[in-house]
Structures are given as C-alpha cells and as structure tokens.
Amino acid sequence: AEFGDAVVKASKMTGKNEIRPELQAVYVQAKDNQIRIAATDSFQLFQKTLPAEVAEAKNFYIVKPAKIGAAIGVLGDKVGVTVTDKMVGIKGERGEIIARNLDSNFPQYENIYPEFTNQFVLRKDEFSKAIKELKPYLNQLNAVAIFIEDGQLRMKAENKAENLSKEVTVKFIRKTIKSTPGKAVDGILLMPMVGETGEGDLNLNLLYLENAIKTIDDNQVFLSLVEDPKRRPLHISGKNE
C-alpha cells in the first residue's frame, strides 16, 4: 500500500516531454534493503524512501505511474517486484501487473541539494487555505511572491493584466538547521522562478507548491531554505520525512 501510494504521489511531479521518457516515469532504486522512489519534471522533484527486502540491487522505471500506482494499491499489503531490462513485474496476493521498463538514465539529482540553514514549520490546513485564496489572482505564470517576515510568510499573487492582486499570511515557527549539501532527502524539492518577478524573498509557481503540499499526509509542513533562497531550491516535507 505504501509503495503504490508513493508512486501515485510521485506521478504528480513527472513531466510531459516525450523526448525524455525517463521524466514521464517514476524511477525506483532498490538496494540496501530499501527502495528510493523519485520523479521530476526539472522544476519539481519528489523523493520517498521505503524499507524493503532487496535480494539484488536493481534500478527500474514505472511508466504510466498514476495508473500503475493506483493498481499497486489493490494488489495487497505486500508486493514483490521482478525486473528485467525490458519488463517490470509487480505481484501481490490479489494479482500481478506487468509493465514496460525503460532503458534511460535518470538525472543525477543529488548534487542540486544545497545546504539548508532555515526551516519553517507551518500548519498544512492554514497553508492550503492560503494557496486556495490566492489561485483566482494568479497571472499566466502562476507566480506567487513569498516574503519572510517576523513569525509569518506573506504571500502575494498579482495579475497586472487583469488588475488583480491578493495577499495572505501564514504563521510559522522558525528553526535553524544544517543539512548536508549534495545529499538527497525525502520530500519535494521546488525550483524558484528566477527572474520572473522582482518581488519577494522567493518566487514560486503556486500550482507546484500546491502539488507539494498535497503529498503531505499529516498537518505539519516543513519548509527548508538556504540563507538567500531567491535562486536556490526550496525543500518541502512532512513530519516524518
């Protein structure tokens, strides 16, 4: 069940570029008694690690991940995976899925993780409500400017073409952290919208931010940032990641 759920969540971060089929699929690394599930469209990146019994280290792809992820969820609580160069078989007590594997190289994404030094803890329900309020005011780029203020994030959406503007605030608890640069951690990595808008301590695609928040199961959201976040990725995770 966890595996299927993670694949479905990862599918929301896949791309649509047919020239790069590896970005349309979910990538799975199985080794050291765990599986690492990853997906990216180059603007948003998903990673989730789950414990597993791994007899032999393998890397493979899950194509059509939204559909297959949902199907994995009905196979049973425990599934087994067999991999060849061309096929992936996923078998549970209620059935089996056979899918095509890909012969492609997934991006070596670990190097893009910076050293995060600041973390903001927010309530998911409040953050989701703020995002919903801003959506009618988005411009064509779906851009939101985020200002880091004392004890709160101020979020601004502006559509100058239609003379629309909206600001909302979300309270946070701030922590000082120190992550390891170049080390991937579970959660969502979002790239900022560099040069698209002049305002804000950072600028993001609000729909990508909404996607990320939806992958979190509990009511705490952890935002991790670098000291100057305007041009570096933002990491988003839940309580247990």
As beta bridge partners, residue 38 has 27, 47
Q: Give residue 231's pLDDT.
A: 87
In this prediction, residue 127 carries a pLDDT of 98
Q: Nearest to residue 143, comparing CAs of 157, 162, 127, 164? A: 157
Q: Could you tell me if 218 and 239 are in contact, meaning their C-beta atoms sit under 8 angstroms apart?
A: yes
What is the pLDDT tens value at each position of the chain, 241 positions in all? 799 999 999 999 999 888 899 999 999 999 999 999 999 999 999 999 999 999 999 999 999 999 999 999 999 989 999 999 999 999 999 999 999 999 999 999 999 999 999 999 999 999 999 999 999 999 999 999 999 999 999 999 999 999 999 999 999 999 999 999 999 999 999 999 976 556 889 999 999 999 999 999 999 999 999 998 988 999 999 986 6
DSSP label at residue 151: T
| Helix 206-214, helix 124-134: angle, nearest 10 | 150
**Nearest-angstrom CA–CA distance, 188 and 39:** 10
Place of tokens 């309270």: 171
CB-CB contact of 193 with 199 (8 Å): no
Helix 65-72 to helix 2-11 angle (10° resolution) is 160
Kindly report the pTM of this predicted structure.
Answer: 0.93
- Cβ atoms < 10 Å from Cβ of 101: 19
Token duo for residue 230: 């305007």
Taking phi first (over 0 means left), then psi (-120 to 50 degrees means alpha), and beta for anything else, what does residue 130 get? alpha
SS3 148: strand
